[in-house]
């Protein structure tokens, strides 16, 4: 008799312990504060401090730099668990791990890793400053300028929709050093809070993920030395493209967690809510709705874990990252919408959690590459 085949979603003992720990944290600490954070549009500082204490802000940073020394997949599992309860908190963890930490680990010099990864693992939030008012899906149309200033650079421009910007101490800023070269002039710089000329502008009043800050970052002639260049001058486009591919797996994980949370709430409601003398879970139409949510959530989970596995194997995963982000965003939107419907009039009330998840879900089709951009990426690879 052949051995039992383990599913792709099977976890190692260590991973299961991690998931259990994060689930307890999310349920006992984050969930009671979720509605208030959404109402005031602010991350509770105690939650942020606890995420640092638990090692969740430096999951795959090597232990030599003070990180948890885990894997990319471990980070994805953590993001899923946080998003089951509070997607706004999940994105704080996601951007830190899949974008900021990842970029510095991959492209940073040893001095930069020692200086910044130790901070990011211990107590410092990072943000990723790429988007501008005329540079969204066309990311390389950015107008932020970096001019030679002696042996260093002077950076001028405005960045918008910057996640974690309000709490950030480290800023990865993309600017063009030579517009005549087009995207080949784009360079990534590491900036720090408190630098002259760096300030925070408007904070967005968002539809969802309101616990996560989204702000404008203003750069008024910020002077930095050459040692603040991440990677090589003129190679910032590579940093952006390759980092965002990994970030899309993180967004997929957020959306899977959100879909699972929607299903969990809906299932419990349908087992308790009675109409016509019995629990509504006993009606076939409700059963089918829950079953479809389960199917789509599990399928989305598989696309995310598959993309993470291919990434960890060192293979090209651009297609899989786009697929998992695209499919998971759809699954989250469908699951949260159906959860609202199953709650009936209660689902339309802010007194119940599914209304918030419904609002949180929409961003999955927008940030780190819109739904249309994911389809474009998949089509390009498909057609060679």
Strand 168-176 relative to strand 125-129, pairing: parallel
Higher pLDDT, 63 or 5: 63
| pLDDT of residue 266 exceeding 80 | yes
Of these residues, 81, 216, 320, 368, which one is catalytic?
368
Whole-number pLDDT of residue 1: 46
Tokens of 101: 């930490």
d(CA 225, CA 261): 46
Whole-number pLDDT of residue 326: 98
For 109-161, write each residue's pLDDT tens digit: 999 999 999 999 999 999 999 999 999 899 889 999 999 999 999 999 999 99
| Average pLDDT for 53-69 | 97
Whether 113 contacts 105, CB under 8 Å: yes
| pLDDT of residue 4 exceeding 70 | no
| pLDDT of residue 186 exceeding 90 | yes
| Average pLDDT for 205-220 | 98
Whole-number pLDDT of residue 3: 61
| Average pLDDT for 53-72 | 97
Q: Which residue has the tokens 């998003």?
A: 83
Among 26, 365, 31, 42, smallest CA distance to 206 is for 42
Percent above pLDDT 70 for the chain: 98
Domains of the chain and CATH, by start: 13-125 (1.10.540.10), 127-235 (2.40.110.10), 238-382 (1.20.140.10)
d(CA 17, CA 238): 36
| Average pLDDT for 175-185 | 96
d(CA 312, CA 359): 32
| pLDDT of residue 10 exceeding 50 | yes
- Determine the Cα angle at 90 with ends 87 and 95, to 5°: 125
For 275-308, write each residue's pLDDT tens digit: 999 999 999 999 999 999 999 999 999 999 999 9
pTM score:
0.96
> What one-character-per-residue DSSP string does 25-61 give?
HIIIIIHHHHHHHHHHT---HHHHHHHHHTTTTSTTS
d(CA 95, CA 251): 9
d(CA 300, CA 30): 24
Strand 152-163 relative to strand 145-149, pairing: antiparallel
Largest alpha-carbon pair distance within the chain? 79
d(CA 287, CA 138): 43
Whole-number pLDDT of residue 304: 98
d(CA 217, CA 164): 11
3-state secondary structure of 198: strand
Whole-number pLDDT of residue 286: 98
Average pLDDT, the chain: 96
3-class secondary structure for the chain? CCCCCCCCCCCCHHHHHHHHHHHHHHHHHHHHHHHHHHHHCCCCHHHHHHHHHCCCCCCCCCHHHCCCCCCHHHHHHHHHHHHHHCHHHHHHHHHHHHHHHHHHHHHCCHHHHHHHHHHHHHCCEEEEECCECCECCCHHHCCCEEEEECCEEEEEEEEEEEECCCCEEEEEEEEECCHHHHHHHEEEEEEECCCCCEEEEEECCCCCCCCCCEEEEEEEEEEECHHHEECCCCCHHHHHHHHHHHHHHHHHHHHHHHHHHHHHHHHHHHHHCEECCEEHHHCHHHHHHHHHHHHHHHHHHHHHHHHHHHHHCCCCCHHHHHHHHHHHHHHHHHHHHHHHHHHHHHHHCCCCHHHHHHHHHHHHHCCCCCHHHHHHHHHHHHCC
Whole-number pLDDT of residue 272: 98
| pLDDT of residue 203 exceeding 80 | yes
Whether 80 contacts 22, CB under 8 Å: no
| pLDDT of residue 374 exceeding 50 | yes
**Is 86 part of the annotated catalytic residue set?**
no
CA distances from 230 to 61, 103, 181, 234, 235 (A): 17, 8, 19, 10, 9
């Amino acid at each position: 008799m052949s051995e039992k085949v383990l599913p792709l979603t099977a976890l190692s003992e260590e991973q299961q312990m991690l998931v259990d720990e994060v689930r307890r944290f999310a349920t006992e600490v984050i969930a009671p504060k979720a509605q208030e954070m959404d109402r005031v549009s602010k991350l509770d500082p105690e939650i942020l401090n606890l995420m640092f204490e638990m090692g969740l802000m430096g999951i795959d940073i090597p232990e030599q730099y003070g990180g948890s020394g885990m894997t990319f997949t471990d980070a994805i599992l953590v993001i899923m668990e946080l998003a089951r309860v509070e997607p706004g908190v999940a994105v704080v963890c996601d951007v830190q791990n899949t974008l900021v930490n990842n970029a510095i680990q991959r492209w940073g010099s040893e001095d930069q890793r020692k200086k910044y990864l130790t901070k990011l693992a211990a107590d410092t939030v990072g943000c990723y400053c790429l988007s501008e008012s005329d540079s969204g899906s066309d990311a390389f149309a950015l107008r932020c300028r970096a001019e030679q200033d002696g042996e260093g650079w002077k950076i001028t421009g405005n960045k918008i929709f910057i996640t974690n910007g309000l709490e950030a101490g480290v800023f990865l800023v993309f600017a063009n050093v030579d517009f005549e070269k087009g995207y080949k002039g784009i360079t990534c710089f590491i900036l720090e809070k408190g630098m002259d000329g760096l300030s925070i502008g408007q904070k967005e009043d968002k539809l969802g993920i309101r616990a996560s800050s989204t702000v404008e970052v203003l750069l008024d002639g910020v002077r930095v030395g050459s040692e603040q260049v991440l990677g090589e001058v003129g190679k910032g486009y590579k940093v952006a493209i390759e980092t965002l591919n990994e970030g899309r797996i993180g967004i997929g994980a957020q959306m899977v967690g959100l879909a699972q949370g929607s299903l969990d709430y809906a299932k419990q409601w349908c087992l308790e809510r009675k109409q016509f003398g019995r629990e509504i879970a006993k009606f076939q139409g409700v059963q089918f709705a829950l079953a479809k949510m389960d199917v789509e959530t599990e399928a989305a989970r598989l696309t995310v874990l598959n993309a993470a596995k291919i990434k960890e194997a060192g293979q090209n995963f651009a297609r899989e990252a786009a697929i998992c982000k695209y499919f998971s965003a759809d699954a989250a939107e469908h699951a949260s919408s159906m959860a609202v419907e199953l709650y009936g009039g209660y689902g339309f009330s802010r007194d119940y959690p599914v209304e918030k998840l419904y609002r949180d879900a929409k961003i999955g089709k927008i940030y780190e590459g819109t739904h249309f951009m994911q389809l474009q990426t998949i089509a390009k690879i498909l057609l060679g």
